[in-house]
């Protein structure tokens, strides 16, 4: 009777762990060091006696901290925007002149991300709503045609609440302290002449 041969199945044993090929990990890309960033901002103060431009330069030295003010450039032009209540286009031209200074001060590559804002005070408050809006709309058009960034509500008349909050430092804190004010507009006091006796 022929001998029956039963083949033994081949068992493949995994190689010892010490013989496994080492996994090669690619080195992580180095994180580039944070370099200081420079920001600019343009603020127009449209007062009763003139319009002033403030060009601010900010530097951020740490990504987790807010930028700090590095320098400020200031220039004023007279008269104020309220003097152009019958000719808003001329008032807009005064803003164009001041924007030329901003373009000379701020690097061109930063124009598109530099916000421009105008806040008017006493002079425009004394005008009729139609006259004030005519001037503000002209300023808005000048801003829109400029190469700078124009945020929403970039042109408006500042009320006394914002002014006193700035003066008392409430814009920078969560204080609940109440403050009372008397809003004495400078244009009113400037226009009151002293009484002089003609005969002594």
The β-bridge partners of 191 are: none
Cα(117)–Cα(69) distance, integer angstroms? 17
Tell me which of 160 and 123 has the higher pLDDT.
Answer: 123
Q: Could you tell me the residue ranges of all domains in the chain?
A: 37-159
- Please tell me whether the overall predicted TM-score, pTM, comes out greater than 0.85 for this model: no
109 is catalytic: no
- What is the CATH code of the structural domain delimited by 37-159? 3.30.420.40
pLDDT tens, residue by residue, 154-195: 999 987 677 666 666 666 666 677 766 666 655 544 443 444
Chain centroid to Cα 133, Å, comes to 23
What pLDDT is recorded for position 35? 79
Name the catalytic one among 10, 89, 163, 198. Answer: 163
- Please, what is the end-to-end C-alpha distance for the chain in angstroms? 159
Cα(83)–Cα(135) distance, integer angstroms? 10
**pLDDT range class, residue 20, cuts 50, 70, 90:** low
């Amino acid at each position: 009777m022929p001998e029956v041969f039963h083949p033994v199945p081949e068992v493949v044993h995994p190689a010892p762990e010490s013989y496994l090929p080492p996994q090669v990990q690619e080195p992580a890309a180095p994180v580039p060091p944070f370099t200081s960033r420079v920001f600019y901002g343009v603020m127009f103060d449209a007062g009763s006696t003139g319009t002033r431009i403030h060009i601010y330069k900010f530097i951020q030295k740490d990504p987790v901290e807010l930028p700090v003010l590095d320098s400020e450039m200031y220039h004023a032009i007279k008269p104020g925007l309220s003097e152009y209540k019958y000719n808003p286009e001329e008032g807009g031209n005064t803003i164009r002149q001041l924007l030329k200074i901003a373009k000379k001060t701020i690097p061109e590559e930063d124009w598109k991300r530099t916000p421009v804002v105008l806040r008017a005070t006493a002079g425009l408050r004394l005008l009729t709503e139609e006259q004030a809006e005519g001037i503000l709309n002209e300023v808005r058009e000048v801003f829109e045609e400029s190469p700078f960034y124009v945020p929403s509500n970039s042109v408006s008349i500042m009320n006394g609440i914002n002014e006193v909050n700035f003066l008392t430092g409430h814009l920078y804190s969560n204080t609940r302290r109440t403050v009372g004010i008397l809003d004495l507009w400078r244009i009113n006091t400037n226009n009151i002449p002293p009484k002089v006796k003609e005969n002594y």
